[in-house]
Amino acid sequence: MIHSLFLISNAGDLFLEKHWKSVISRSVCDYFFEAREKAVEPDNVPPVIRTPHHYLINIYREKIFFVSVIQTEVPPLFVIEFLHRVAETFQDYFGECSETTIKDNVVIVYELLEEMLDNGFPLATESNILKELIRPPTILRSMVNTITGSSNVGETLPTGQLSTIPWRRAGVKYTSNEAYFDVVEEIDAILDKSGTAVFAEIQGVIDACVKLSGMPDLTLSFMNPRLLDDVSFHPCVRYKRWESERVISFIPPDGNFQLMSYHISAQNLVAIPVYVKQNISFFETGSSGRLDITVGPKQTMGKTLECLVVTVHMPKVVLSANLSATQGTYNYDPVTKILVWDIGKLNPQKLPNLKGSLSLQSGAPKPEENPSLNIDLKIQQLAISGLKVNRLDVYGEKYKPFKGVKYVTKAGKFQVRT
């Protein structure tokens, strides 16, 4: 199935490669680099790239491209899901999935890839099994390995590998039993000049951190489960129970995992949390232009907008920007032609405004179309879809765990046309 894996940084540096069947030359990545040049943003690189003798299937995570090389026909989503699992495993082991971290732990990275894929086919991808096979790095363990010459590879086979519940190891014990759930939603939206939503949808995930002793059986219920009609679950979830009762029943993995993801595409269920009043104009004469942007809260259910950033990809003829912001700071890069206005926390009593003049290249024709605005934001303690967790019940164990739920709404691909 998967012959080779290449890790490529955002700058185009190929810093790690792993081959399972036969060694494939790095030159196969030239097709990927061509596609990367054509795409304006890293996220816009086609996930499947066809070459004369191979298929290149890739994902983009944490400023790294994971590029797999396939020689036979396989379901692309199968490979994409495996690549995401690789990135999540690195995140789980090292705390972050970055080029520096991977280079610092290159031995463990190769050991993990060797266990996760056997002759090109996925083998052990569950975090609990991998942590018994290859122990996560610690400073003390690294020192002992350096002195004794030993490795992080475990001496015994993982207990979960042979059980009917491979995602959970046996004999788990904690002094304090806890179960935390994060409901994280991202809004993808396109707004036209008048502020009307042309396209809007929500991508949501429920991330869990479960540290419970023994073999607990959990049931998670929602206030309004009918919102969820397009869902994807972790293998631990009993799907028939969800279909009949709309509750999530599962024996959880130990530690951090993604319980489920969901997609809400009905526009009447997608609330737009921000509105933008903008006016960007370029004059026929005088090599100049005007910019005026005001941002305000819309449907935030009384919650505060945080980490608000407005990004504008200016036309190539714009040389500089002389602007004034009532809140936050702005920066215009004359090389990349990107204007970034970092507002921060939004004050609804005094709406932030950015306005001023733009200097254009003399003699150049007026830009044919106005640039679009990209919005980035975060709202704590709010799921914009209205999804709410009702209760979490624990069966099979006698203790009463500490339980907590947190809601976060973020902007995904949020664009305002001008």
Distance of CA 208 to the CA centre of its chain: 15
Q: Average of pLDDT values for 6-15?
A: 94
Share of the chain above pLDDT 90, in %: 67
As a whole number, the mean pLDDT across the chain is 89
Q: Which phi and psi angles does 341 have, rounded to 5°? A: -110, 105
- Architecture per CATH, domain 274-380, reads as Sandwich (2.60)
Tell me the two tokens of residue 171. Answer: 């004999």
The pairing of strands 373-380 and 402-416 is antiparallel
Domain ranges of the chain: 2-148, 178-270+384-416, 274-380
154 pLDDT band (50/70/90 cuts)? low
CA 271/CA 326 separation, integer angstroms: 27
Q: Which CATH class is domain 2-148?
A: alpha beta
How do residues 306-338 score in pLDDT, each as one tens digit? Answer: 999 999 999 988 999 999 999 999 999 999 899
Domain 178-270+384-416 has CATH 2.60.40.1170: yes
Q: Average of pLDDT values for 81-89?
A: 94
Which pLDDT value is given to residue 194? 87
How do residues 366-389 score in pLDDT, each as one tens digit? Answer: 888 889 999 999 999 999 999 999
Helices (H), 195-310: 239-245
Residue 410's DSSP bridge partners are 186, 378
- Please determine whether the domains at 178-270+384-416 and 274-380 fall in the same fold group of CATH: yes
